Amino acid sequence: MTDIDHPPLYFCVDAGATRSRGQLYDGSGTVIASAEAGPANASYDSEEAADSLLDLWRDLNAAAGRDPQDLSGVTFAIGGAGLYVQGPREAFLARGPAFAAVFVMSDGYAALIGAGGGRPCALVTIGTGVAGHRLFADGSSIQRDAWGWIVGDRGSGSWMGVRAIRHALAVRDRIAAPSLLAEAVMAQIGGVTGLLEGALSGLTAHRVAAFAPLVLDLAEKGCPVAAAILARAVGHLTDLVGSLDCADVPLYLNGGLAPVMQPRLVERIGRPVQDAAGDPLEGCLLVARGEAPPERMVFE
């Protein structure tokens, strides 16, 4: 068959731990369908991630009036957490359709490419977790942090939340002075009753990050403990930017906490932060179309 019979299509996916987004693009890069599905973090659950991928594929084809069994000319590009690890990546891909071509990259790399339009740049993601990425002129890239809330993600929402909870428990144990932050944290937990009913059992990154807004709000209201946690978080983010050695390239921020942390970070680093050119889905498209390099992370 000829290329005319099967014009190129690009199926791009931004795979997240709580939801996934997909878009179908035509050969010119125009969006012809968009959809959302459930979690698609292959490093946590490759079967669940594959199910979300199939949901996206079916929904996109339904919206575009296509037969989902027709994979001719379809290039699949996905950015997702943990996909640079061989085992989860292979298990995930084995459950999906046999597309004509496949490009796999980390979620951070997809966001990096989207932010800078495929040009050398740096990106810091600030949300529940924290990650720093930089793309070099030779097509290689580096990643900093993104080690998870227990051992890393310094300066993130989960990092601030953990410290807020620790402080509240220290006050409860009478080894730290009372504060507005401790009072607010205990109220959100449900007080002693909440503690006894297991409010802090089975904590996850998202659950501890839910306490970060208390830190941000009370820091603004003058609580010295909250202000100290926030200042340390900004210090960690400043160090992260420094570790990317990115003074000579544009710097971008994204993530749920980026808007509130940006002015504080800019003041500390003494340089502007630019608006992103595009999002992770556009990053996947650029890689799929050969307009940006596939991920080649350097572990030095």
Class of the CATH-defined domain 9-117+277-288: alpha beta
Q: Give me the residue label for tokens 């989960």.
A: 158
Strands (E), the chain: 9-15, 20-25, 31-37, 74-80, 101-105, 121-126, 130-135, 141-145, 251-254
Question: Which residues are registered as beta bridge partners of 125?
Answer: 131, 254
What single string gives the DSSP state of each residue in 76-115?
EEEEETTTTSHHHHHHHHHTS---SEEEEE-HHHHHHHHH
Residue 50 and residue 229: Cα distance in Å, rounded? 39
Phi, psi of 70 (to 5 degrees): -85, 105
Q: How far apart, in Å, are the Cα atoms of 108 and each of 15, 52, 82, 132?
A: 11, 19, 10, 8
Name the token pair of 19. 């939801």
Are both 9-117+277-288 and 157-269 of the same fold?
yes
CATH 3.40.50.300 fits 157-269, yes or no: no
pLDDT along the chain (300 residues), means of 10: 67 86 94 90 77 92 94 92 73 84 92 96 93 96 91 95 98 97 97 93 91 98 98 98 96 94 96 91 96 89
Give the total residue count for the chain. 300
Q: Are 185 and 213 in contact (CB under 8 A)?
A: no
Domain spans in the chain, listed from the N-terminal domain onward: 9-117+277-288, 157-269
User: Given this model, what pLDDT does residue 109 score?
Assistant: 94
Residue 46, pLDDT score = 75
pLDDT value, residue 5: 61
Residue 1's pLDDT is what? 40
Residue of 49, 57, 71 whose CA lies nearest to 24: 57
